Chain A
């Protein structure tokens, strides 16, 4: 079964840049997608196709891709950005959907 690997936790101070990585063997050929989930709420799509931002998502959210790793960056982190973040991507066949294990972002 395909796996997407994320760090369990990332901590940053307000105003700094948070970077959350996601590694997977199929990522050189597949896009990465990112979701933000706050406690007790449903996930929200924040980045699609590696680096596109849905309408309504603040510009401080950005995404990049390099080799087997996609990265979600949040510049000028605010307290409201504290949440769990999940990457998602298909495997090399494209048929099946996989999520990473999630990263808890803590704003110090």
Chain B
């Protein structure tokens, strides 16, 4: 059974750096085709993909947030960490981590088959 759980601060101040940890079980991030992504959702708004790390330690970021994001993994601990710098009130959202599967058809594709329950992060002074 695949499970993922996000952890981190519920409240951060503007300009601070947010660090979120995704702890997972039921799969290995060293297995070919396995990835973990971070996705966020502001209250009442749509999902937004943020970052992805794959089994080979390749990393991909949203073009709009690339300069603020860093994703890393600790395969031995089954954890993926996301840091986001210079937090702003518009970054208030529920942050999800999700197991991400890689598939190669005509081009590379990624999709999310298991999600954590999400963690609400509020940015406020």
CA A91 – CA B62 in complex, angstroms?
12
Chain A residue, CB-CB nearest to B116? A42
Chain A residue at minimal CB-CB distance from B118? A42
Q: Are A33 and B111 in contact (CB under 8 A)?
A: yes
Query: Chain A residues near B108 (CB, 8 Å)?
Result: 90, 94-95
Which residues on the A side are within 8 Å of B47 (C-beta)? Answer: 35, 37, 43, 86, 88, 99, 102
Known: A43-B115, A45-B112, A97-B49. A29 touches B107 (CB 8 A): yes
Q: Is the CB of B117 within 8 A of A42?
A: yes
Interface size on B, residues (CB 8 A): 25
- Secondary structure dominating the interface of A: loop
Q: Which residue of chain A has its CB nearest to the CB of B112?
A: A45
* Nearest B-chain residue to A54, judged by Cβ: B113
Contact of B107 among A43, A86, A94, A101 (CB under 8 A): A94
Which B residues fall within an 8 A CB radius of A?
37, 46-49, 52, 60, 62-64, 96, 103, 105-113, 115-118
- A residues with a Cβ closer than 8 A to B are 1, 29-31, 33, 35, 37, 41-45, 48-49, 54, 86, 88-90, 92-102
